[in-house]
Structure 1
Amino acid sequence: MKDRILFRPQRGGLAEAMAEIREIADHADLVAHLQTVFAPMWINVRDDMVRVTKYGDRVDTRIGWDTHIVTIEGWGVAGFTNAPL
């Protein structure tokens, strides 16, 4: 069974971000979620704009995540996943 891929948005603190975790099926699902989140800000998120890259060189012991950073080209950090996509 495939492990669950989780996404947490960029927030002021870890607890605040963890309260908003969302399960993501794949890269396309992440893009669709980000399109919904950023549409009210008039940001048109496209697949080619979303990058998921390794963040740090260790597992985050606070939450057990092999953290990957999610960025949107031209905007910045959108959040983090617990695994690569």
Structure 2
Amino acid sequence: MQVDENATTDVIKRLRRAEGQIRGVISMLEEGRDCADVVTQLAAVSRALDRAGFKIIASGLQQCLSAEDGDDQSVNLERMEKLFMSLA
């Protein structure tokens, strides 16, 4: 599966944001921050990773659907991503 270049750029941005959030969680743990704050930040990291994964899945699905239809029909990638997110 080849991921669309625009989707790849977006996924990389999301993963870098998650990377920064993970560093923040590590710092919070090292500083002995409140458990609720740490869990809240972990939940944000989890959502960021889910969104990156769903973006990749949606891009791959778009390619599969386009190949099946045999024409240049454009599938709304953002709509598919929202549908995937509603299942999470």
The bucket for the TM-score relative to the shorter chain is: under 0.3
**More strand as a share of residues:** 1
| Structure with more relative contact order (C-alpha pairs < 8 Å, separation 6 or more) | 2
Q: Which has the larger radius of gyration?
A: 2
TM-score calculated relative to the size of structure 1 = 0.26
TM-score calculated relative to the size of structure 2 = 0.25
